[in-house]
Amino acid sequence: MKNSRLNRNSRIWIYTASRKLNTDEVNWIEKKGLEFTDSWQTHGKPLEATIEVVYNRFIVVAVDDEWVGPSGCSIDSSIAFIKEMESSLQIDLLDKLNIAYRNRNGAIDVVKLPEFQTLIDQGEIKSDTLVFNNLIQKLNQLDDEWEVELDNSWHKQLLPA
């Protein structure tokens, strides 16, 4: 994450937008995200956290859990924030069936899991297609383990045997 002051082992959550966000939407999300993280607490203790929009497609929430770890209630409040973004922008962010990948032109596409499987079956998506592995959990994984070839991600289980 750009300009992140957080520990590289900070915990992250990645939310995929069902469509590309425009510049005004990105700026609004990051402004609201800063307001949220500035007041985000767990059991009355402030959390060291940040929210960033990446590639106009992903909202990444990061919290330094070595400093003060988030509790169930504070995680719930971050999900409420994401739901607010969904409602305000009329997009899906919490749908785990949305799969993001880079198409042949290098642009990021987001499709539902069944369509992703169809694209694999049709040969449009192959083992070397770049996919976004949103199952990563640490900030230090963003650089090397987030955008990877399908064959190096959980997505490989969708390939034909």
Q: What is the pLDDT of residues 31-64, one digit of tens each?
A: 999 999 999 988 888 899 999 999 999 999 999 9
pLDDT in tens, 107-159: 999 999 999 999 999 999 999 999 999 999 999 999 999 999 999 999 999 99
Q: Distance between CA 16 and CA 6 in Å, rounded? A: 22
The pTM assigned to this predicted structure is 0.93
Contacting residues for 101 by C-beta, under 8 A, at least 6 apart: 108, 109, 111, 116, 125, 129, 130, 131, 132, 150
Q: Once rounded to an integer, what is the mean pLDDT over residues 92-112?
A: 96
Confidence class for position 2, pLDDT limits 50, 70, 90 = low
Percent of the chain, pLDDT > 90?
81
Neighbours of 85 (CB within 10 A): 23
